[in-house]
Structure 1
Amino acid sequence: MTRRRDFLKTAGAVGSIGALTGCLGIGGSQPFNDGEIDMNISPSVPTEDLQPQYGPIREYISNEFDRTTKMNIANNYASVIEALGSGTTDIAETGPFAAALGVNEGDAEVILQRKGYGTWTYKSIIAVPNDSDIEEVSDLEGKSVAFSDPLSTSGALYPLYNISQAGVNIGNLPEGNGSQAAFDAVFAGGHVSSYEQLADGQVDAAGMGGFVRDTSTGPTPDEFESTARTLQESTGLPRAPIVVSPELSDDRKDALQQAFIDAPDSIYYGQDGEEGTDDDLWFNDVREAGVDKYQSVIDVATELGVGAEIFESGDDS
């Protein structure tokens, strides 16, 4: 595959997971003097989970800055980055790959990394049905494979990298429509959706975050095991960041970063305020981080020759 250009160079840019919209002023003791705070939530979050899971974060940020905070689930990762770059979104949560691309294009800054399920790293897997005759990744040639979003780290980038390493032609994926690939690529629009297409027999294999297999995000671990088996696993992926718009002033960025760092644990407990219940967020802590935290993701994207052209591909399904 032709290497179009270096994907990213490690930089000291800072960023956060989240998106704030509007023209917010500075004055007095508060960093935001007018306007609303709009936070974009990852497109991997089901719409029905937005209010019960993220309500405490919205309330906390609103109280911290004495401003109305609005939260919306983005259509896809590309739209998150584009909104940040234009200044119509101020803070957002997104995936490592999308965030790194956004930093490279000057459309986002990483300020925080999230911790989930007890670790700062996670896994990417390729799964097949239990009764499948697919035994090796190279067997995916000529098969149908579901992926999450083209900008998903665990749901597209790493699975495609492993498929390529196995000698299967991935064409111009994840940027293009997959017409040149040696398999049929289907973008399901989310990790759980990828699993569901696999479970329903719509595809022969599926790439997704390991959390779909290992937690109750979607199927329970027992349900997953009764349906599918892991064909390939990648470990040590850095968990997703929170990013901000470069249009924000340094004071605003710093204030948002510090607000999340200082936040009480209860913001992660969901609407019922109790830890360990169904409306808990998948992440339960954050730490200061920059784009350098995602160098391993950058290296994989560089190996695949993926650049910011993916934002212009028009394939957001």
Structure 2
Amino acid sequence: MPILLTRRTLLTLVGASGLALGTSVAAQDRGLRLAFIPQENPEKLLGDIEAVTGWLAEELGVPVEGFVTIDHAAAVEALRNGDADISFMGALPFVLAEAEIGAVPLLSEVYRGAPSYTGRIFIRRDSGIQTLADLRDRDIAFADPISESGYLYPLTEFVQAGLIQSPGEAEAFFGRIFFAGGYQQAMQAMAEGLVDAAGASQYADLLLTPDQQAQVTWIAESEAIPSHLVIARPGLDSDLQARFVDAMMKLNEPENRDKLQYLYGPDGYVKADPADHDGVRDMARRYGLLE
């Protein structure tokens, strides 16, 4: 079985609720509740969330509360049961949430001028690893089992290289597989020598220190993936949803762009087009994640 590297740490931070860090969403009866996924260190995200929810509350004129979930699956569950109204989420979790609970895509992130990015397999430069085949019987950390750039797309590079036939055969190829709980956690595990490689977003090395960045490289890159989204639970008040989208689009304006650093650091946002995720839906069906 793959191992959750950070599960004990996260559960300590989460507390008894099992859903969120630092706040109780159940106590919030009015306003907007936002679920954030732990792509970065969850403790750092708490400060970021406070900054962005404060700004959104001023823009919307309603209370806005944010919390960090354990992973993508917990964010979907929070949307399902009403503990969250809106969530920041990857493309694969979105298409699964769309199929399971009717989640609605609102916004797509823009990076380097495009609403897409890739997944990569990262290694340390001094590891002696040069090809994907060199990772046979070695340990690898992925971000999340339902992450596109942090699992499925990087793993597909091994399929295309003829090293495995499907994700189900991955455990027989690698020594051990770990799900670290986020990009930064997977990259740190690799950079610190706890594992031999990491599967994560093409930008995940930017979450390392400058010294660590100089010590890592990548050996495989996936096809383009639709960027992360901001999605809403079905049934969210349409007026509040529209005002939220308008407020988020203001982050593209020069006077507000500094706030993007508190939202995982994209270049900006565009309104989401569900058709952009057809390729992700196809891959999810191919691997038995969607009917």
TM-score (norm 1): 0.74
Structure 1 residues 268, 149: CA separation in 2 closer, same or farther (over 3 Å shift)?
Answer: farther
Matched, 1:111 2:137: no
Separation in structure 2 between the aligned mates of residue 250 and residue 181 of structure 1, nearest angstrom: 48
Task: Give 1:81 deviation, angstroms.
Answer: 0.8
* Residues 112-261 of structure 1 aligned to structure 2 (within 5 Å): 112-169=107-164, 173=168, 180-183=171-174, 184-213=176-205, 216-220=206-210, 223-225=212-214, 227-261=215-249
| One-letter amino acid of the structure 1 residue matched with residue 212 of structure 2 | E
Note the C-alpha offset of 1:118.
3.9
Per-residue CA shift, 1:229-262, capped at 9, x if unaligned? Answer: 2110125222110000003133333332233224
SS in structure 2 of the partner of residue 198 of structure 1:
helix
Offset of 1:64 from its aligned partner? 3.0
The two structures, once aligned, show a CA RMSD in angstroms of 2.8
**Residues 29-44 of structure 1: pairs in structure 2 closer than 5 A:** 35-44=30-39
Quick one: distance in 2 between partners of 1:269 and 1:53? 12
Contact 1:170/1:181 (8 A) holds in 2: no
**Kept after mapping to 1: 8 A contact 2:138/2:196:** yes
Q: Distance in 2 between matches of 1:58 and 1:45?
A: 18
TM-aligned CA deviation for residue 194 of structure 1: 1.2
Q: Superposed, which structure 2 residues align to 1:285-300 within 5 Å?
A: 285-300=268-283
Matched residue count: 265
The CA distance in 2 between the partners of 1:23 and 1:254, in whole Å, is 24
Please, which runs of 5 or more residues in structure 2 have no aligned partner?
Answer: 1-24
Supply the AA of the counterpart residue of 1:219: T
**Post-superposition CA distance 1:10-41 (Å, at most 9, x none):** xxxxxxxxxxx6799xxxxxxxxx71321111
Change (3 A) 1:170 1:256: farther
Per-residue deviation, residues 122-162 of structure 1 (Å, max 9, x unmatched): 22110222233433223322221110011111111111111
Shift of 1:180: 4.8
Equivalence for 1:69: 64
Does the 8 Å CA contact 1:212/1:219 hold for their aligned counterparts?
Answer: no
Partner of 1:49: 44
> Where does the alignment leave 5 or more consecutive residues of structure 1 unmatched?
1-20, 25-33, 309-317
Q: Is the 8 A contact 2:123 2:219 kept in 1?
A: yes
Whether the 8 Å contact between 2:145 and 2:151 is mirrored in structure 1 is yes
Q: Distance in 2 between matches of 1:170 and 1:219?
A: 35
Pick the structure with more helix per residue. 2
Aligned counterparts of 1:251 and 1:77: Cα–Cα separation in 2: 26
**Distance (Å, rounded) in 2 between the aligned partners of 1:245 and 1:255:** 15
Corresponding position: 1:305 with 2:288: yes
Partner letter of residue 279 of structure 2? S
Q: Which structure has the higher relative contact order (CA within 8 Å, separation 6+)?
A: 1
Is the CA contact 1:149–1:156 (under 8 Å) kept in the aligned structure 2? yes
Q: CA deviation at 1:266?
A: 4.3
> Aligned-pair distance for 1:297?
2.3
Identity of aligned residues (%): 25
How far is the alpha carbon of 1:228 from its aligned partner?
2.2
Aligned to 1:10: none
Give per-residue Cα distances to partners, 1:160-209, cap 9 Å, x unaligned. Answer: 11112222337655xxxx88542121111111211211122221211111
Contact 1:140 1:168 in 2 (8 A): no
